[in-house]
Amino acid sequence: MIPHAFRFGVVSGRAPDWAGLARRAESLGYSTLLVPDTLGTLSPFAACAAAASVTTTLRVGTYVLSAPLRHPQAVAWEAATLHELSGGRFELGLGAGRPHAEADAARLGADFGTPAQRIDRVAATADAVADVPILIAAAGSRLLRVAAARAATVAVALPPNATETQLAARLDELYELAGDRYGELELNVNVAAVGEELPSWLAARFGPPGDDAVGVLPGTADRIAETLIRRRDKLGISYVTVPADRLDAFAPVVERLAGT
């Protein structure tokens, strides 16, 4: 399988200077600025539109839209509009709902549904959207099956302390589900922490991460670049997303690897 070129994204729910964040991400060579879908963050479609309006090459996207909160046709309408107005720079990220998203659904008057119903909603939403690149965040078998058939990008949704062995097991399953399509899939992992000093909340919430934790990239830029190259060669992970507070710290890695 020919590896995909590296690209990198920034995930942010809000910023004091949203336009400035978008411009900064673009100037540093990031491919995407991605917005989560929670009631505690900016509305994702509006935030994506604002970021696209002040940039020229930066792609914008949802990471990830909680499919149970919206009707598939409503998502298709919003996605098509934003894709057109951004000059084709919008990417739709979909998921079945993050932990605790049921409370958001209740506040919005939406039926969160059972796990099976939420996965069906992801599939229905992906089917309703046309001509917009789709990322699907998945970990379990049922949602991996949906992603294998419908996504351009698959975000492997594992906790940040998950090991490379655990990631490889998910990718092996995706390989079996996708068949001949597997080589076309771009594979994404979201990184929670970058750099020499890891945040205290990470260990407090998930326990101390091991040396091969896929959601953690400790060390210097050179060490991180070597880790990412090895993981792409071994696992095929070419699309890496980082939190906005690591935007500048991760920039030397972006400069070295983006597009290679």
Check pLDDT > 90 for residue 3. Answer: no
Check pLDDT > 70 for residue 63. Answer: yes
List the alpha helices (DSSP H) in 7-151.
18-27, 44-53, 72-85, 101-108, 115-128, 141-150
Check pLDDT > 90 for residue 212. Answer: no
Domain count, the chain: 1
Per-residue pLDDT band for 164 (boundaries 50, 70, 90) equals very high
The answer as to whether 2 is a domain residue is no
pLDDT of residue 151: 98
The answer as to whether 68 is a domain residue is yes
Per-residue pLDDT band for 242 (boundaries 50, 70, 90) equals very high
The answer as to whether 188 is a domain residue is yes
* Cα–Cα distances in angstroms (integers) from residue 210 to residues 108, 165, 215, in the given order: 39, 12, 10
Rounded Cα distance between 50 and 8, Å, is 20
Mean pLDDT, range 124-153, rounded to an integer: 97
pLDDT of residue 141: 96
Mean pLDDT, range 88-113, rounded to an integer: 92
- In 3D, which of 18, 17, 101, 16 has the Cα closest to residue 60? 18
Q: Considering only residues 2 and 68, tell me which one the structure prediction assigns the higher pLDDT.
A: 68
The answer as to whether 240 is a domain residue is yes
Mean pLDDT, range 68-72, rounded to an integer: 95
pLDDT of residue 1: 63
Check pLDDT > 80 for residue 198. Answer: no
30-60 pLDDT tens trace: 999 999 999 999 999 999 999 999 999 999 9
Check pLDDT > 90 for residue 74. Answer: yes
* Most confidently predicted of 78-92, 93-107, 191-205, 208-222: 78-92
Range of the domain at 59: 7-257
Check pLDDT > 80 for residue 2. Answer: no
Average pLDDT, whole number, for the chain? 95
- In 3D, which of 88, 8, 95 has the Cα closest to residue 44? 95
Residues linked to residue 35 through DSSP beta bridges, in sequence order = 62
Mean pLDDT, range 127-132, rounded to an integer: 97
Per-residue pLDDT band for 211 (boundaries 50, 70, 90) equals confident
CATH code of the domain in which 32 resides: 3.20.20.30
Q: Which helix (H) or strand (E) element contains residue 187?
A: strand 186-190
The answer as to whether 1 is a domain residue is no
The answer as to whether 155 is a domain residue is yes
| 3-class DSSP state of 232 | helix
The answer as to whether 216 is a domain residue is yes
